[in-house]
Amino acid sequence: MSLKKQALSGMFWSSMQLFGNQFIGFGVSLILARLLLPSEFGLIAMLGIFVGLANALINSGLTQSLIRSENLDDEDFSTVFYFNLVGSLIIYAIIYFSAPLIAAFYNQDLLTPIVRVYCLTFIINAFSAVQTTRLTKMMDFKTQMKVSVPSLVIGSVVGVAMAYNGYGVWSLVWSSVIQALAATIQLWYWAKWRPLWAFNVEKFKKHFHYGVKLMLSGVLDIIFTNAYTIIIGKFFAPAQVGFYNRANALQMLPVGSISSIITKVSFPLFASIQNDNVRLKNVYKRIMQMVIFLVAPTLILMAVLAEPLFRFLFTEKWLPAVPYFQILSFSGILYPIHSYNLQILNVKGRSDLFLNLEVIKKIIFLVVILVSFQYGIYGLLHGANFVSLVAFFINTHYSGRFLNYSAWQQTKDLLPIIGVAVIAGTIVYFLDEFMTHQGFNDFTRLCLGGFLGSITFIFTAFLLKMSSLTELIDTIKRK
């Protein structure tokens, strides 16, 4: 199979997996948002930093090293498998005994048993991380879809049933544990790979040398990404954490869906052409433009229609999350750009530069968060947007040096798309103001606003002959 066909096939099955997961997950979240309180979602959100840190430490970037490395054998995969497994056991033991301290920090006693049960997912996921990595390296996303969708269904059924029967926050905990267990069992069945009884020290050193820098970068990113949850959870009520988490989750729904589909395919794709800079630049540019073409109008229209959207989906009790969502939408547009720029550093083997950039960005982040915290939650959110903008220019500058594709060139390629999305959003804003004054219900506001915004964006892109629209149409026709 040619590289292009392999990429298109991978993107198709990755899309099926992501959209299937998002459709089911979003539907379940709507049900749970009605059955549970914002404070109960807030308790789970407080664990985000510990879950993220554990996953970063367990994987240590070794799985990414496996994806980008050539001439691997079963010893490579087995070595990483055993390292991940032992690491997960050690980290779980540390978190198990630290659970009372975590609960005391947030002044939430219930967090002690929640942490101890929820974090069992570390060990469960460690059993299947290498199986998933092998499938990704082979760009076998069809098998991954056959695993992830049923697992999500099983976990969701457990979560909804428990929530309906009054188990509260525990419905979220056991839903995650059961989903992880179901996925691991299926991966062992479908992946058809078993670890050897072998641990090669030299191979471990090779992968660890590359991966440790990504691990440290990941640790930094997790700490600072979850800084808002930590601060809000420490100084505000759990319900405020729930509102922030709900706003961030909804903002990441289109961003995560679209960028994750392409990211899963793009990293092994970039890795396969890492030595051809001309080809790599061309593929990178087209992918980045395509993602922004899909993400920018979606987020801007959702931000404009945020009030009827939240009330229609989650009911009145979630309306305090609306301004959080609208502010976060700006950084959501930039999120995939950060991801693809940093991928270039990874495929070029420059995990050292990746780490250095993360340290610089986190120092800037720390200064901004210390200043913005004085202005409350809204100050923190606006500060996050500022940091995201600074990070954009830092990331694009250094990745651009490898591709001869500067930050300014990338900006010029993306601004027209974002500009057209803003025009569409502005038109929808005035339409929604008119509908509000005329007493239209939320469903009508969403349908008419979404339709007019989409048509305006697509029609303007057609008039401007944007290449991303042409490529999107061609991709759909091929499928």
Q: What is the pLDDT of residues 297-317, one digit of tens each?
A: 999 999 999 999 999 988 888
Which two structure tokens, joined as six digits, stand for 88? 């997960």
Whether the pLDDT of residue 19 is over 90: the answer is no
Task: Tell me how far apart the alpha carbons of residues 329 and 92 are, in angstroms, rounded to a whole number.
Answer: 34
Per-residue model confidence as pLDDT tens digits over 408-458: 888 888 899 999 999 999 999 999 999 999 889 999 999 999 999 999 999
In one-letter notation, the amino acid at residue 386 is F
Q: Which of 18, 340, 313 is nearest to 148 (CA)?
A: 18
Q: State the chain's mean pLDDT as an integer.
A: 82
pLDDT tier for residue 215 given thresholds of 50, 70 and 90: confident
Q: Tell me which residue of 389, 239, 247 sits closest to 324, measured CA to CA.
A: 247
Say if CB 160 and CB 179 are below 8 A apart.
no
Q: Give the residue among 141, 355, 384 at the shortest CA–CA distance from 266.
A: 141
Say if residue 257 is in the same domain as residue 112: no
Same domain, yes or no, for 155 and 65?
A: yes
Average confidence (pLDDT) over 365-382? 86
Enumerate residues 6+ apart whose C-beta is below 8 A from 403.
277, 280, 281, 284, 344
Q: What is the pLDDT of residue 325?
A: 93
Q: How far are the Cα atoms of 57, 373, 430, 461 from residue 350, in angstroms, in the given order?
A: 19, 34, 47, 36
Q: Quote the CA–CA distance of 426 and 160 in Å, as a whole number.
A: 38
| pLDDT at residue 219, as a whole number | 77
% of the chain beyond a pLDDT of 90: 26
Neighbours of 397 (CB within 10 A): 15
Alpha-carbon distances of 132 from 31, 128, 139, 140, rounded to whole Å: 30, 6, 10, 9
CB 233, CB 46: distance < 8 Å: yes
User: Average pLDDT for residues 274-296, to the nearest whole number?
Assistant: 77
Q: How far apart are the first and last CA of the chain?
A: 16
In the structure encoding, which two tokens stand for residue 119, read together? 């974090």
Q: Are residues 220 and 288 in the same domain?
A: no
DSSP string, 73-133: -HHHHHHHHHHHHHHHHHHHHHHHHHHHHHHHHHT-TTHHHHHHHHTHHHHHHHTTHHHHH
Q: Of the residues 236, 259, 276, which one is the last residue of a structural domain?
A: 236
- Which span out of 208-222, 232-246, 344-358, 435-449 was modeled with the highest average pLDDT? 435-449
Please tell me the predicted confidence (pLDDT) of residue 330. 86
Residue type, 273: I
Look at residue 260 in the predicted model and tell me its pLDDT. 64
- DSSP annotation of 140 reads -
Q: Which two tokens stand for residue 191?
A: 């992946």
- pLDDT digit string (tens) for 267-277? 555 656 666 66
Is it the case that residue 475 has pLDDT exceeding 70? no
Residues 112 and 224 in one domain: yes
Q: Inform me whether the pLDDT recorded for 58 exceeds 90.
A: no
- The C-alpha R_g of the chain, in whole angstroms, comes to 22
Give Cα separations from 383 to 173, 308, 366, 368 (angstroms).
31, 26, 10, 6
Residues 232 and 246 in one domain: no
How far apart CA 158 and CA 176 sit, in angstroms, is 9
Mean pLDDT, range 153-170, rounded to an integer: 92
CA distance 432 to 440: 9
How confident is the model over 375-388, as a mean pLDDT? Answer: 87
Position 43 confidence tier, pLDDT thresholds 50, 70, 90: confident
- Provide the pLDDT for residue 25: 75
Q: Are both 34 and 120 inside the same structural domain?
A: yes
Q: What is the mean pLDDT of residues 141-167?
A: 89
**Higher pLDDT, residue 134 or 254:** 134
Cβ proximity of 188 and 128 under 8 Å? yes
Instruction: Please give the residue that has the higher pLDDT: either 276 or 194.
Output: 194
Q: Is residue 8 pLDDT above 60, yes or no? A: no
Ranges 169-173, 323-327, 336-340, 431-435: which has the least confidence: 336-340
- pLDDT at position 93: 93
pLDDT at 419: 93
Q: Are residues 276 and 352 in the same domain?
A: yes
Mean pLDDT of 239-259: 80
pLDDT at 253: 77
- Do 224 and 283 lie in one domain? The reply is no
- Say whether both 193 and 279 belong to one domain: no
- What pLDDT score was predicted for residue 12? 60
pLDDT band at 15 (very low <50, low <70, confident <90, very high): low
Place of tokens 């440290």: 216
Structural contact between residues 368 and 387, judged by C-beta atoms closer than 8 angstroms: yes
CA–CA gap between residue 137 and residue 133 (Å, rounded): 6
Looking at residue 264, its pLDDT comes to 57
User: Where a domain ends, among 236, 269, 300?
Assistant: 236
| Residues 229, 311 share a domain | no
pLDDT confidence of residue 60 = 59
Measured between alpha carbons, how far is 64 from 53 in angstroms, rounded to an integer? 17
How many separate domains does the chain show? Answer: 2
Report the C-alpha gap between 369 and 375 in whole angstroms: 10
Tell which wins on pLDDT, 246 or 356. 246
How far apart, in whole angstroms, are the C-alpha atoms of residue 361 and residue 371?
16
Does 282 lie in the same domain as 227? Answer: no
Q: 151: helix, coil or strand?
A: helix
For residue 223, pLDDT beyond 70: yes
Instruction: Return the HEC string of 184-219.
Output: HHHHHHHCCCCCCCCCCHHHHHHHHHHHHHHHHHHH
Q: Quote helix, strand, coil % in the chain, to nearest 5.
A: 85, 0, 15
Range of the domain at 39: 1-236
pLDDT value for 297: 93
Q: What amino acid occupies position 355?
A: L
Higher pLDDT, 222 or 432: 432
288 vs 456, higher pLDDT: 456
Measure the CA–CA gap between 398 and 164, rounded to whole angstroms.
51
Q: Is the dihedral of CA 373, 378, 382, 387 positive or negative?
A: positive
* Alpha helices per DSSP H over 274-406: 277-304, 306-314, 322-347, 351-372, 376-403
How far apart are the C-alpha atoms of 442 and 426, rounded to whole Å? 19
Residues 210 and 311 in one domain: no
**Average pLDDT for residues 18-35, to the nearest whole number?**
76
For residue 395, the tally of other CB atoms under 10 A from its CB is 24
User: Pick from 236, 258, 293: which residue ends a domain?
Assistant: 236
What backbone phi and psi angles, to 5 degrees, belong to 466? Answer: -70, 130
DSSP 382-406: HHHHHHHHHHHHHHHHHHHHHHT--
